[in-house]
Structure 1
Amino acid sequence: MLHLDDDMNSETAAWQEAGVTLPAFDTTAMRQATNQSPVWVHFGAGNLFRAVHAPIAQRLLDLGATDRGILVAESFDPSIIDQAYTPFDNRFLQVILRADGSMDAALIASVAGTYPLGENPESFQDLRQVFRDPGLQMVTTTITEKGYALVDSKGHALPWIAPEFEGGPTKAKSAIGVITALLLERYQAGAFPLALVSTDNFSRNGERFGQAVRRMADEWISRGLAGRDFGGYLDDDMRITFPLTMIDRITPNPDQEVGRRLEAMGMADMSPFRTRGGTAMAPYANTEETWYWVVEDDFPAGRPLLEKAGVYMTDKDTVNAADQMKVTTCLNPLHTALAVFGMLLGYPTMSETIADPDLKALVTRLGYVEGLPVVEDPGIFSPKEFLRRVIEIRIPNPGLPDTPARICTDTSQKMPVRYGNTISKYLRTDGLDASALEAIPLIIAAWLRLLVGSDGQGTDDAGRTVKLSPDPRLKELQGILSGIPLNGSAGRETLSTIIRPILADISVFGTDLNTTPLAGKITDALAAMCQGAGAVAGTLHQVARTW
């Protein structure tokens, strides 16, 4: 049996027999060159990094487009480094799960060094030296959207951020705090340029990244913990930039079945595990074949030749168009629609949801009929082809162990972008008629139907109790919907009155839906879905057969 840290030169035949693609570069020379003069640091050592960023770095090394690897730091769950990197000599497998059921595995060895922040103060000191190097070109992040949050809705520091505001760089623990402290180090070393590239999955991520770093710096400056010139350094776009990006690769948590298949190929110790911090990891990252990374080309210190690895390097407007295409019409709205109905209808995986003919009809209409008319073509790839791959290849992929429950997390926060944006365009654009929307109001009604219940529990279409996914507004929304019976005894007017405050919430839908033709459609669909067991499937089927 092969282990991840087995020698690639003396064991080449065994690796090949196992079907694992090996790096085409000298890993020892790569590590030496990277440690002497690093160019790329990444924050966030989880599965998306292992599925996208590290393989891109490896591709550049394989092509001879660079001799430097990538350094990775982890602040949220430092035990990821101790448990998923160090025992395996910083190597892991990237596993591509194809729609035909086949599987490709590659040994990723592009990680030249790791920094578990928070548990080991020496790691932060070592990282300070990296940021003092004038040759450092870029920092990328996958810290999730929540990682950029510093204050609450009233502008008050979040409890875990307040000590960082007050204590300055020496008290930095969060990713934003640590990055800002390291930028201060870089400023003091010579005010060297650097690009800070958010690759987290939300719109205008670079702008949010820049705002968070500057807010942290301003708090320090106002307390005399950093000089005012540091603020000028961060505001100088000739030295510090925050490019916009769009990233897309479905990367579920490691699947036990993938581990078993790898062990059958000859790999040892491939079981997934939970780190001490609770993160789902494995000696591999399982992901899909399709991926996109679109980046605003604004790198004041230079950059790796990312385009040689398939990254789209372009301008800000193109990134925005690609991002809007993905999150408002061609992927994310379809994902949420399938996930909501998947939880109601009891489907355990996303691939099983779209195998339902009625649900496939729903997302086909949602994407092609209601979504594409408001899409701005980014020009670098076809929205129609992107959508086709989503519906025909990506979501149906049975190898991806993705679940409706995972996709349903924080749905109230996703509604404004995934549906509110399209609704707004239909309301304000000449030639478009909001009353023609059918899929979107049906999905909103299904979401409300899913939330009917209490204490984080709902009821599916078969009458079974279902645990709802985490959502910051779950308790509030369930409180509003608690008066809705699922036996058909509530009249339409009663339902309309109950859901009126939710439909009026601009923070959820981007507009007061009570002032639009959609309110009546949502009410009618919800009423139909509350007629007892099987009502959701029946309502969906009745509508879908007309499309």
Structure 2
Amino acid sequence: MKLTNDLFNQTQMWEEKGISVPTFDVLKMRENTKQNPTWVHFGAGNIFRGFIAGIQNTLLEKGLVDTGIIAVDTFDEDIIDNIYKKYDDLVLLVKLKSNGDMQKQVLAGIGESVKGSDTVRLKQLFENPTLQIVSFTVTEKGYQATAVDIDNGPDKPVHAMGVLCSLLLARFKANQAPITLISMDNCSNNGEILKTAVKDIALGWVKKGYINRDFLDYILTETLVAFPCTMIDKITPRPAKEVEDELTKLGIEDISPIVTSKNTFIAPFVNAEVAEYLVIEDKFTNSQPPFKEVDGVYVTDGNTVKQVETMKVTTCLNPLHTALAVYGVILGYDRIYKEMENPMLKTLVEKVGLEEGMKVVVDPLIINPKEFIDEVIYERFTNPFIPDDPARIATDTSQKVKIRFGETIKEYIKSDKLDVNDLTYIPLVIAGWLRYLMGVNDKGEHITLSPDPLMTQLQSKLQSVKLGGSYNGEAKAILSDAQLFGVDLVECGLASKIEELFKELIAGVGAVEATLKKYCA
């Protein structure tokens, strides 16, 4: 059994092994895609393969579309050769349920795969007026208008945004056909971020005389080029050995992960959690795919997209992740699900989210906040088959606390019904982060902390604080930083509570566990 076109001659065998396979005419779909492309996607990693390509697979199965997505990668072209073309653009998706069951499905939502360096094929695609959507999962760092792309001009783009602008210019010259550009990366206001990058490169080219201003006018005309915002939520972790072993046991050959020349660890299969959400702003310049026919995908107005994102990042998921991250590292955990087996840490996230955060959360109506957070706490975080590491989540915490905690604190301050000083568990998380910054675990041993752009600066303010030693207000310099938290925690009166909790956490070896027991037992 191989994950190639040969499986379509062995569908009964695959089904008997518990692996569902496409029922639509895959070869016909690929031919349609080549002739009349409708959707190109940049960023050929796991979130695309396991979620976005799955959306198209569902629409194909329902007979609502007849083309696939064209996958492009500008960063790691080894993926195209060794994961896409080698396996005939098929994906083996394994959804990991919390009870240990593995739901296995072959996806054929990808109609073609193209290297970012194949400018001939990419120009053909962008010059074709049938192309409706270009989407992206290139990470937040991928949306940069780099100096090299501006200096090189449209003929020699290097990075993703430069390549995109060059291709949009080709479309402009060919027919000025409308197009919708959709960032599906997990960052706030992603549509605006994408639009800014495209605009900045185009403006740079205008200033350097590479192009005239007509192209800039084209990409800034919303009826011709749209940049809807989205909110995406799905965990697609590294390929798991347990999944590889299970697939091998079923008789599937050549399924092991590889490491590319760009150090990408990737496999022909994608293991992922079951839960998935994609909320898209209803801002399309041309025909909108029937996204609403897919479970977990919502098309709505821009304000609702922002409300869903705010619900997730300020209350229902991200703050809970950070709480588990900092305490998990201090207490020596290597998996989120293991932390959730600790009743004190489980109580902590319940209190942060269900008790303190839910009092100010805005209900976006299309997704119920209580149902969402219950799924996060009791199904997603507890899933032992999602190998998520607290240390990974603790990366760049200084860049996250403003949104994950500062927004809720500000809502308490603004409220005439709530008192910010009634907060206990959000302050306990912030105090835990300060304790984490000391770089010492609860046993008093040195620990390596995750990368953070402000790490040196923050640690220097706490350098005189020692485990078991005295506290002399050193944390005030951090807690009063309104840039860091979005609000001056000293000025609003919350800092004193955080400092008292911090003193308890640094009392000595075992103080972190003792403090959690005191407040979360």
TM bucket normalised to smaller: over 0.9
Q: CA deviation at 1:501?
A: 2.0
Task: Supply the distance in 2 between the matched residues of 1:265 and 1:341 (Cα, whole angstroms).
Answer: 39
Match for 2:397 among 408, 411, 416?
A: 411
Structure 2 counterpart SS, 1:99? coil
> How far does the alpha carbon of each residue in 1:234-290 deviate from its partner, in whole angstroms, 9 at most, with x for none?
111111111011111112111112111111122123322322111221111111111
TM-score under structure 2 length normalisation? 0.97
1:156 is aligned to none
Q: CA deviation at 1:87?
A: 1.6
Query: Does the aligned pair in 2 maintain the 1:255–1:272 contact within 8 Å?
Result: no
Query: Does the aligned pair in 1 maintain the 2:2–2:252 contact within 8 Å?
Result: yes
Match for 1:309 among 267, 290, 294?
A: 294
2:507 is aligned to 531
Task: Supply the distance in 2 between the matched residues of 1:83 and 1:532 (Cα, whole angstroms).
Answer: 52
1:136 is aligned to 131
Match for 1:290 among 275, 294, 310?
A: 275
Is residue 2:482 matched to residue 1:482? Answer: no
Task: Supply the distance in 1 between the matched residues of 2:476 and 2:156 (Cα, whole angstroms).
Answer: 46
Is residue 2:306 matched to residue 1:324? Answer: no
Q: CA deviation at 1:83?
A: 2.3
> How far does the alpha carbon of each residue in 1:76-103 deviate from its partner, in whole angstroms, 9 at most, with x for none?
2222222221221111211100011100
- Give the 5 Å matches for 1:220-239: 220-239=205-224
Q: CA deviation at 1:30?
A: 0.6
1:444 is aligned to 430
2:55 is aligned to 56
Task: Supply the distance in 2 between the matched residues of 1:116 and 1:476 (Cα, whole angstroms).
Answer: 41
Task: Supply the distance in 1 between the matched residues of 2:416 and 2:256 (Cα, whole angstroms).
Answer: 55
Task: Supply the distance in 1 between the matched residues of 2:57 and 2:431 (Cα, whole angstroms).
Answer: 46
Is residue 2:161 matched to residue 1:169? Answer: no
Query: Does the aligned pair in 2 maintain the 1:163–1:171 contact within 8 Å?
Result: no
Is residue 2:106 matched to residue 1:125? Answer: no
Structure 2 counterpart SS, 1:209? helix
1:521 is aligned to 497
In the alignment, structure 2 segments of 5+ residues that lack a partner are none
Structure 1 counterpart SS, 2:34? helix
1:47 is aligned to 46
> How far does the alpha carbon of each residue in 1:360-389 deviate from its partner, in whole angstroms, 9 at most, with x for none?
111111111111111111111211111111
1:155 is aligned to none
Structure 2 counterpart SS, 1:171? coil
Match for 2:444 among 454, 463, 467?
A: 463
Give the letter aligned to residue 287 of structure 1: A
Q: CA deviation at 1:343?
A: 0.8
> How far does the alpha carbon of each residue in 1:464-499 deviate from its partner, in whole angstroms, 9 at most, with x for none?
33221122222222222222111x2123xx1x2x22
- Give the 5 Å matches for 1:254-403: 254-310=239-295, 311-403=297-389
> How far does the alpha carbon of each residue in 1:127-184 deviate from its partner, in whole angstroms, 9 at most, with x for none?
111011111111111111121234xxxxxxxxxx221111111231211111111111
Task: Supply the distance in 2 between the matched residues of 1:480 and 1:280 (Cα, whole angstroms).
Answer: 37
- Give the 5 Å matches for 1:412-427: 412-427=398-413
Structure 1 counterpart SS, 2:9? coil
Match for 2:192 among 196, 204, 207?
A: 207
Give the letter aligned to residue 90 of structure 1: D
Runs of 4 or more above 4 Å deviation = none
Aligned residues: 520
Give the letter aligned to residue 355 of structure 1: E
Structure 2 counterpart SS, 1:285? strand
TM-score under structure 1 length normalisation? 0.93
Q: CA deviation at 1:314?
A: 0.9
Query: Does the aligned pair in 2 maintain the 1:148–1:212 contact within 8 Å?
Result: yes
Q: How big is the alpha-carbon RMSD for the aligned residues of Structure 1 and Structure 2?
A: 1.3
Over the matched positions of the two proteins, sequence identity in percent amounts to 43
Task: Supply the distance in 2 between the matched residues of 1:508 and 1:471 (Cα, whole angstroms).
Answer: 13
Which segment drifts farther, 426-435 or 51-60?
426-435
Task: Supply the distance in 2 between the matched residues of 1:349 and 1:426 (Cα, whole angstroms).
Answer: 32
2:109 is aligned to 110
Task: Supply the distance in 1 between the matched residues of 2:5 and 2:41 (Cα, whole angstroms).
Answer: 26
Task: Supply the distance in 1 between the matched residues of 2:81 and 2:509 (Cα, whole angstroms).
Answer: 49
Give the letter aligned to residue 135 of structure 1: T
Task: Supply the distance in 2 between the matched residues of 1:239 and 1:201 (Cα, whole angstroms).
Answer: 25
Query: Does the aligned pair in 2 maintain the 1:137–1:301 contact within 8 Å?
Result: yes
Structure 1 counterpart SS, 2:177? coil
Structure 2 counterpart SS, 1:469? coil
